[in-house]
């Protein structure tokens, strides 16, 4: 038996639209964006922004490319009023940007709102009143007709004040607030009455904003409502349909996207989804979702860390580490299989850079101003491929495939034991400690290599001579040995002096760095007569010495094991 009180809740009505067309539509262009950060976002903050903070935030929104910005509810507080005036009087509003101001449908508030926008070149007066059954019955105790009268009276006053202002740059937006709780046919009646009063036409459009004031159902039902509305509105050409989705069910982005497919022209939302309760629709997510489909989002989020910094400072809100596109961990893989796929994908991307196609990364972090640095991070969940990726990216050390399991287990031992994440620097230290510079029991004090005088290109058993001074478990010793190359000669010399039987099973080398002082690094796997396979590595400016050091490294690891 369920312990949850599910029986307290009623299911949300569906629209009954059987011939819906939106599921077959795709989004092909960005909507008209409207930021409500400075109004809806601000009114939801424990400590609302000061005028100076709002100015800084406004400038950020302008720099990102918003052309419609709801700057506040000027009739509601002195700060909001002062902010609107500051923007206008200090010429902070670019000519191609419209400020938007919210007002309830009440005479004194509408009049005060017009005072706030005096001399603004472009402004949208956003009028709202609540229309839902719940608010009519519980909050206002008013009939359907009385609610329509409020909307129409407000619209009339806005029209008259616009006419009196003589400002052609004033536009009108109407929101039947709590639209998601409003019967569709009734919401349509309210909007038709508002359109009539406004004299809406193709030349004098009204913005009808149909808010998901409280998110009450799945996005598909909301999309049905928008398609139904677009079909039933009396003059579609006289209307810009706008959507303002809150995130109570965590689906505000999907709601807005599906609403666009259903006919919405304009989208309201806020950066990082700030806003009442669970927030407004996150415009960054929706814009970058468009970008990942190859659509120009018409907003510039190429420096997301900067946007986030200004946002966090002005609002005192944090961004969750898993927040889509913006969180600290969203471009990071800890798990071995993901790291392996990403590392292969990044290599493939270098070869074919035109279209982004890297597993687990729907977007190139560099396109939003992030680096590749944090893509692969190492903890106990990580694999050898991830460890190799970090060493290669940060230190140019390209551990060969056959050696990766060996170093992977060195790292795994530490992460399992400590439970901690390892930085690139710590991984590098582990590599150095495991392979480079080990001096026990064997230390190579000196080694010279010479080639046969007669023919330097000779490549037979006696072509190369290695003379080496060593320290071993029983003290110093030295040898001269010949071979078909430095490695071969050194192996022969060491075997005859130590009695340890081994041969080179795998070998690879490359240079680190590009300048004239570049170093060479060698990787080696020795196969010992007792069946042990042991890896080693050596670094030197001389490639032959690097490979001999790699043998000493493997011998020491064999002896210690």
The contact set with ligand KIV (CB under 6 A) reads 40, 102, 128, 175, 177, 209, 211, 213, 244, 246
> How far apart (Å, rounded) are the C-alpha atoms in residues 83 and 7?
47
Strands (E), 228-302: 239-245, 266-269
Q: From the CB of 415, what's the least distance to ligand KIV, in Å?
A: 47
The nearer residue to ligand KIV, 152 or 504, going by C-beta atoms, is 152
Q: Binding pattern to Zn ion, positions 35-64, x when CB under 5 A?
A: -----x------------------------
Residue number with CB closer to ligand KIV (268 or 509): 268
* Residue 136's binding partner out of Zn ion, ligand KIV, none, with CB under 5 to 8 Å set by partner kind: none
Q: Which is nearer to Zn ion, 31 or 385 (CB)?
A: 31
Give residue 123's region: left, alpha or beta (phi > 0; psi -120 to 50): beta
CB of 121 to Zn ion, least distance (A): 26
Residues 6+ apart with CB under 8 A from 166: none
To ligand KIV, the closest distance from the beta carbon of 325 in angstroms equals: 23
**Cα 289 to Cα 398: distance, rounded to the nearest angstrom:** 35
**32 vs 443, beta carbon nearer ligand KIV:** 32
Q: Which partner, ligand KIV, Zn ion, none, binds residue 80 by CB below 5 to 8 Å per kind?
A: none
Nearer residue to Zn ion within complex by CB, 109 or 521: 109
Choose between 84 and 304: whose C-beta lies nearer to ligand KIV.
84
Q: Which residue is nearest to Zn ion (CB)?
A: 40
Residue 525 interacting partner from Zn ion, ligand KIV, none (CB closer than 5 to 8 Å by kind): none
Q: Which of 180, 69, 195 is nearest to 134 (CA)?
A: 180
The tokens 């000027």 sit on which residue? Answer: 74
The CA distances from residue 464 to 108, 495, 539, in Å, are: 99, 17, 21
- Distance of closest approach, residue 316 Cβ to Zn ion, in angstroms: 20
Minimum distance of Zn ion from residue 268's CB (angstroms)? 8
Question: Which partner from the list Zn ion, ligand KIV, none does 70 bind, CB cut-off 5 to 8 Å by kind?
Answer: none
Q: Which of 285, 216, 220 is CA-nearest to residue 249? A: 216
| 209 binding partner (options Zn ion, ligand KIV, none; Cβ < 5 to 8 Å by kind) | ligand KIV
Return the half-sphere exposure (C-beta side, CA atoms, 13 A cut-off) of residue 435: 30
Nearer to ligand KIV, 127 or 391 (CB): 127
* Residue 442 binds which of Zn ion, ligand KIV, none (CB < 5-8 A, kind-dependent): none
> Minimum Å distance from CB 43 to ligand KIV?
9
Half-sphere exposure of 131 (CA within 13 A, CB side): 32
**Smallest gap, in angstroms, from Cβ of residue 213 to ligand KIV?**
3
Continuous H helices in 46-177: 51-64, 78-89, 107-116, 133-134, 144-165
Q: Measured from the CB of residue 209, what is the shortest distance to Zn ion in angstroms?
A: 9
Q: Does 189 bind Zn ion (CB under 5 A)?
A: no
* Residues contacting residue 185 through CB under 8 Å, at least 6 positions apart: none
- Beta carbons of 360 and 346 less than 8 angstroms apart: no
| Cβ-count burial 363-385 (b if 16+ within 10 Å, e if not) | bbbeebebeeeebbbbbbbbbbb
CB nearer to Zn ion: pick between 37 and 340:
37
* Nearest distance in Å: CB 139, Zn ion: 16
Closest CA to 242 of 188, 324, 190, 174: 174
Least distance from C-beta 211 to ligand KIV, angstroms? 3
Structure tokens at 491: 């192996």
CA-to-CA distance for 435 and 408, rounded, in angstroms?
13
| Site residues (CB under 5 A) for Zn ion, limited to 15-34 | none
176 or 493, CB closer to Zn ion?
A: 176
Closer by beta carbon to Zn ion, 40 or else 224: 40
Residue 266 binding result from ligand KIV, Zn ion, none, given CB thresholds of 5 to 8 Å by partner type: none
Q: How many helices and strands (H and E) does the chain possess? A: 17, 14
Which partner, Zn ion, ligand KIV, none, binds residue 177 by CB below 5 to 8 Å per kind? Answer: ligand KIV
Q: Which residues bind Zn ion (CB under 5 A)?
A: 40
């Amino acid at each position: 038996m369920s312990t949850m009180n599910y029986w307290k809740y009623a299911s949300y009505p569906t629209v009954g639209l059987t011939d819906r067309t939106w599921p077959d539509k795709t989004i092909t262009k960005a909507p008209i964006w409207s930021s409500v950060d400075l109004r809806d976002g601000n009114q939801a903050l424990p400590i609302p922004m000061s005028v100076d903070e709002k100015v800084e935030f406004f400038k950020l929104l302008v720099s990102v490319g918003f052309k419609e910005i709801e700057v506040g509810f000027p009739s509601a507080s002195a700060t909001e009023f002062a902010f609107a005036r500051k923007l206008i009087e200090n010429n902070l509003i670019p000519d191609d940007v419209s400020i938007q101001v919210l007002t309830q449908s009440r005479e004194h508030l509408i009049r005060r709102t017009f005072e706030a926008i005096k001399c603004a070149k472009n402004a949208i007066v956003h009028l709202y009143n609540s229309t839902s059954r719940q608010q009519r019955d519980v909050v206002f105790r008013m009939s359907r007709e009385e609610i329509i009268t409020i909307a129409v009276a407000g619209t009339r006053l806005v029209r008259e004040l616009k006419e009196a202002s003589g400002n052609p740059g004033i536009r009108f937006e109407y929101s039947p607030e709590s639209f998601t709780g409003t019967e569709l046919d009734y919401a349509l009646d309210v909007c038709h009455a508002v359109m009539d009063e406004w004299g809406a036409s193709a030349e004098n459009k009204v913005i009808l904003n149909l808010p998901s004031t409280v998110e009450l159902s799945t996005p598909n039902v909301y999309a049905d409502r928008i398609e139904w509305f677009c079909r039933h509105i009396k003059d579609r050409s006289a209307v810009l349909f706008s959507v303002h989705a809150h995130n109570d069910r965590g689906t505000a982005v999907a709601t807005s996207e599906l609403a666009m497919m259903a006919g919405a022209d304009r989208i309201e939302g806020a950066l990082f989804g700030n806003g009442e309760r669970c927030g407004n629709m996150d415009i960054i997510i929706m814009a970058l979702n468009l970008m990942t489909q190859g659509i120009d989002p018409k907003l510039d989020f190429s420096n997301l860390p900067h946007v986030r910094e200004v946002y966090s400072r002005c609002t005192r809100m944090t961004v969750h580490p898993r927040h889509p596109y913006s969180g600290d961990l969203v471009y990071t893989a800890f798990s071995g299989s993901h790291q392996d796929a990403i590392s292969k994908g990044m290599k493939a991307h270098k070869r074919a850079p035109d279209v982004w196609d890297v597993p687990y990364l729907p977007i190139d972090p560099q396109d939003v101003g992030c680096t590749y640095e944090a893509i692969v991070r190492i903890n106990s969940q990580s694999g050898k491929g991830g460890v190799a990726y970090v060493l290669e990216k940060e230190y140019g050390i390209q551990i060969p495939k056959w050696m990766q399991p060996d170093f992977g287990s060195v790292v795994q031992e530490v992460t399992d034991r400590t439970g901690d994440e390892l930085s690139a620097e710590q991984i590098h230290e582990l590599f150095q400690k495991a392979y480079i510079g080990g001096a026990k029991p064997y230390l190579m004090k000196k080694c010279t290599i010479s080639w046969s005088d007669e023919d330097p290109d000779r490549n037979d058993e006696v072509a190369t001579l290695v003379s080496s001074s060593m320290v071993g478990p029983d003290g110093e010793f030295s040898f001269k040995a010949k071979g078909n190359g430095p490695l071969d000669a050194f192996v022969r010399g060491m075997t005859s002096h130590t009695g340890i039987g081994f041969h080179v099973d795998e070998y690879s080398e490359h240079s680190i760095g590009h300048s004239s002082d570049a170093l060479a690094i060698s990787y080696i796997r020795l196969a010992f007569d007792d069946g042990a396979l042991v890896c080693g590595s050596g670094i030197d400016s001389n490639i032959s010495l690097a490979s001999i050091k790699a043998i000493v490294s493997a011998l020491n690891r064999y002896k210690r094991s």
